[in-house]
């Protein structure tokens, strides 16, 4: 499921993010991918151990936790702490598929924790008119979809998708990105649950028959109970 979720960050948050990121020390983005990804990746990222990455990442996670549309779409079980990237001067990322299993940082002495990437997320931190190029191009069975959203907006899509970032030929494209292990592994099942959830919300808001809405809500939770992995 490819979904645009508006307004994750507000104008004040975006201004603070941009001020901090514009002054940040960036590193080669190829440091966080394997040999195959390094062949097609040309961008900058905040270092993995950057305190700024940790601080801004916590703010992103808090904003996501307060957004019911994001929760309904992703059904998050685990989330890899957000990373931040910058594309400029022809920077690009060729077609690739995200890694299926990713290691999460844990305190020393604790056993390692892995995350299965079910949902990929990009949070745009620049408005489209600030740069040329830089579209997130997602390929699925219906063809290619170009995504270039307003600052503060999020796109979520299946991590199994082939995707790329087009070259940035003017300005700079700055974004946060992260992966989610969903309670529901299958993208088709997540889509059905999302559509059912949205229908229930719309019926509730319209004042529809309460008993019918209650039955539909029961169907939603019983499907989630059947499909969820904890």
Is 221 labelled a binding residue? no
Is 226 labelled a binding residue? no
Q: Helix or strand or coil: residue 132?
A: strand
225-to-168, 210, 215, 219 alpha-carbon distances in Å: 44, 22, 15, 10
Residue 48 and residue 216: Cα distance in Å, rounded? 44
Is 98 labelled a binding residue? yes
Sheet holding 41-42, edge to edge: 41-42, 92-96, 162-165, 136-140, 143-147
Which residues, including other chains, have CB under 8 Å from residue 149's CB and lie 6 or more apart? Answer: 4, 6, 124, 128, 155
User: Known binding site for 2-oxoglutarate: residues?
Assistant: 173
Binding-site members for Fe cation are 96, 98, 163
Binding site residue list? 96, 98, 163, 173
């Amino acid at each position: 499921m490819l979904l645009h979720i508006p307004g994750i960050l507000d104008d004040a948050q975006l201004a603070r993010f941009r001020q901090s990121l514009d002054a940040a020390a960036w590193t080669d983005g190829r440091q966080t991918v394997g040999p195959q990804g390094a062949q097609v990746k040309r961008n900058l990222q905040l270092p993995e151990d950057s305190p700024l990455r940790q601080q801004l990442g916590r703010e992103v996670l808090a904003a996501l936790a307060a957004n019911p549309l994001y929760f309904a779409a992703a059904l998050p079980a685990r989330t890899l702490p957000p990373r931040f990237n910058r594309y400029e001067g022809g920077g690009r990322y060729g077609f690739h598929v995200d890694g299926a299993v990713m290691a999460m940082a844990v305190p020393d002495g604790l056993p390692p924790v892995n995350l299965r990437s079910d949902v990929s997320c990009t949070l745009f931190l620049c408005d489209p008119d600030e740069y040329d190029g830089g579209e997130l191009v997602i390929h699925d069975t219906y063809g290619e979809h170009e995504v270039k959203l307003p600052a503060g907006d999020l796109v979520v899509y299946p991590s199994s998708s082939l995707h790329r970032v087009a070259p940035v030929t003017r300005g700079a494209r700055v974004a946060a990105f992260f992966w989610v292990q969903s309670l529901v592994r299958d993208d088709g099942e997540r889509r059905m649950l999302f559509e059912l959830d949205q229908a229930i919300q719309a019926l509730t808001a319209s004042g529809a028959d309460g008993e019918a809405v209650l039955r539909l809500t029961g169907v939603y939770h019983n499907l989630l109970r059947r499909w969820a992995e904890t």
